[in-house]
Amino acid sequence: MATLERLDVSHAPALLRFERENRAFFARSVPDRGDGYFAGFDARHAALLAEQAAGTCHFHVLIDDDGEVLGRFNLVDVLDGSAELGFRVAERATGQGVASEGVRRVLGLARDEYGLSRLYASAALDNAASLGVLRRTGFTPAGEVTLEGRPGLRHVRQLTAPD
């Protein structure tokens, strides 16, 4: 059974493997992180943990029984009770509801642990899998956006009502 864990320093090696192994898969749907991301991974990881400690973001990894990362679910730009959600799942684990379940768990944490009342998430119109996850987890479209030049939809999810 996979566990959703708050990102910490011990996750760095598995997270780097996850990003390396799935780089080409992710780049088909979202902008590639670039070679610099991989070269400077450890410093960036430390910087992300410092941001998390300051309370402006909450990072989570879904870990399988072998200690490998199945997905990551991030809340960034935490401000005035709201935050922006982003997620990605290992190619080998897709199509099994992993993203939907991870998002549901993060919704609970956002409301109960972090005291947030509203989440936003954006997906490109041609990212059907991501749009499916957002719809299934109760997000509703809230306006058009442009994501790296691609048309997309911004979504909102109120957290005050029970899931």
Ligand X SMILES: CC(C)(COP(=O)(O)OP(=O)(O)OC[C@H]1O[C@@H](n2cnc3c(N)ncnc32)[C@H](O)[C@@H]1OP(=O)(O)O)[C@@H](O)C(=O)NCCC(=O)NCCS
Residues interacting with ligand X, by CB under 6 A? Answer: 26, 29-30, 87-89, 94-100, 123, 127-130, 132-133
| Smallest distance from ligand X to CB 105, Å | 12
Cβ proximity to ligand X, 115 vs 143, nearer residue: 143
| Smallest distance from ligand X to CB 53, Å | 25
Cβ proximity to ligand X, 17 vs 46, nearer residue: 17
Q: Are strands 118-124 and 82-89 parallel, antiparallel or unpaired?
A: parallel
| Smallest distance from ligand X to CB 42, Å | 23
| Smallest distance from ligand X to CB 135, Å | 8
Give yes or no for a contact between 70 and 63, defined as CB atoms under 8 angstroms apart: yes
> In Å, how far are 9, 75, 98, 140 from 49, measured between CA atoms?
8, 13, 24, 30
- The residue sitting closest to ligand X, measured at its beta carbon, is 132
Cβ proximity to ligand X, 56 vs 94, nearer residue: 94
Cβ proximity to ligand X, 36 vs 95, nearer residue: 95
Cβ proximity to ligand X, 2 vs 133, nearer residue: 133
Can you list the positions of beta strands (E) in 2-158?
A: 3-6, 58-63, 69-79, 82-89, 118-124, 140-147, 150-158
Instruction: Identify the CA nearest to 153 among candidates 142, 163, 137.
Output: 142
CA distance linking residue 155 with residue 62, whole number of Å: 23
CA distance linking residue 152 with residue 19, whole number of Å: 24
| Smallest distance from ligand X to CB 120, Å | 11
CA distance linking residue 159 with residue 138, whole number of Å: 10
